[in-house]
Amino acid sequence: MLDSFVYRPNRVPEYQRLFQKHDGVRQWWKTPRSPYMLYPYYAMLWGGFAGSMYMMSRMLLGHKTWFSKG
């Protein structure tokens, strides 16, 4: 197990070429795993923003819960 960690290939030059390439793509979108991390992040970001705006508008109308009370 330790041998696989010690003798693995050095990928630093590969990643330097990837991240220093001037291709117009943002740094956080350059790896193949980026969409798997960024799309859930964007969903939580915009979901939290939408929930905050929804509850702010309800608080302005005098409701203190997420759902209307009869």
pLDDT tens-digit readout, 1-40: 667 778 888 999 999 999 999 999 999 999 999 999 999 9
Full set of structural domains in the chain with CATH: 2-60 (4.10.91)
Tokens of 69: 């009370």
- In this prediction, residues 52-61 reach a mean pLDDT of 93
Cβ-contact 55, 66 below 8 angstroms: yes
Alpha helices in 1-70, H assignment, sequence order: 2-6, 12-20, 34-60
Tokens of 56: 């702010």
Q: How far apart are CA 35 and CA 18, in angstroms?
A: 16
Split at pLDDT 50, 70, 90, the class of 66 is: confident
pTM score of the predicted model: 0.71
Task: Write down the pLDDT at residue 69.
Answer: 66
Residue 44 pLDDT > 80? yes
Q: How far apart are CA 49 and CA 67, in angstroms?
A: 18
